[in-house]
Amino acid sequence: MATQLHQQLKHHFVSDESRHEVTVDGYRIDAIDSNGRLIEVQCASLAAIRDKVRNLVQNHQVIVVKPLAARKKITRLHRRGGEVLSSRFSPVRESVAHLFQELVHFAVFPHPRLQLHLLLTEQEEIRVPPSARSSWRKKYSVAERSLTLVQEELRLRTAADLWRALKIRVPAEFTTADMVQTGELPRWLAQKAAWCFRRMNYFEVAGKQGNSIVYRIPTARKSRKPADRAA
């Protein structure tokens, strides 16, 4: 079931509702913009639309919209539509680096006909006591997510765009430990990022340093056009 967040993001990209929920090549598409590009808003895992996108980019320009919660307000209700019990901001703040949790299972990117629009957003999450169908282990379940603000929009077309979006400065040859020291990401995310960049043929293996792989980025790849940013 589509959340309010999903609906809001469809309108963010295509305001004309007659261009929402259109069938193309047997697939249900969230929206088509005025340039004929297919818009897919994916609030859940990118892996769920991997095969769909892989097929669509063979003949169409596709934009996949992925929102991350850079700031999230969690509101608990007594029941659906009931009074507010509590409201607080989550200590978890997603950043560009969290995209790699998704990209390890989304091997479609990069592709000449694919753009990945990464949105750093502020969201509100409404939680209610679980229903009979919910897991008995859960004290509260998510009833709704909504968009409060788009802080930043990154338009990613290439592996170089993605690397620049991380804002990491490393020496000519580096390990994932260097990525952690110079970037705002934990080691486990740095390892996922390195794996993805190797798959994209953006990182080259330069050797080993103890048990760690040493990487380098060829100069020709560093000099490509920066990612587009939109407020």
pLDDT at site 143: 87
pLDDT at site 231: 39
How many whole angstroms separate alpha carbon 85 and alpha carbon 72? 17
pLDDT at site 63: 98
Fold of 163-231: Arc Repressor Mutant, subunit A (1.10.10)
pLDDT at site 227: 57
pLDDT at site 141: 83
pLDDT at site 207: 95
Whose CA is closest to 106, among 7, 8, 225, 192? Answer: 192
DSSP helix/strand/coil, 144: strand
Pairing mode of beta strands 38-41, 27-32: antiparallel
Domain ranges of the chain: 1-157, 163-231
**206 to 128, 174, 175, 187, 216: CA distances (angstroms):** 51, 9, 10, 20, 6
Whose CA is closest to 97, among 154, 13, 175, 171? Answer: 154
Q: Which residues contact 189 (CB under 8 A, 6 or more apart)?
A: 97, 98, 100, 101
**41 to 21, 66, 148: CA distances (angstroms):** 11, 6, 17
pLDDT at site 221: 61
pLDDT at site 40: 98
pLDDT at site 60: 98
Kindly report, residue by residue over 129-161, the tens digit of the pLDDT: 876 665 555 677 888 999 999 999 999 999 999
Q: Which residues contact 112 (CB under 8 A, 6 or more apart)?
A: none
CA angle, 144 then 96 then 50, to 5°: 70
Ranges of the chain whose pLDDT falls below 70 = 1-2, 131-138, 220-231
How many whole angstroms separate alpha carbon 78 and alpha carbon 129? 7
Side-chain half-sphere of 195: how many Cα atoms within 13 Å? Answer: 16
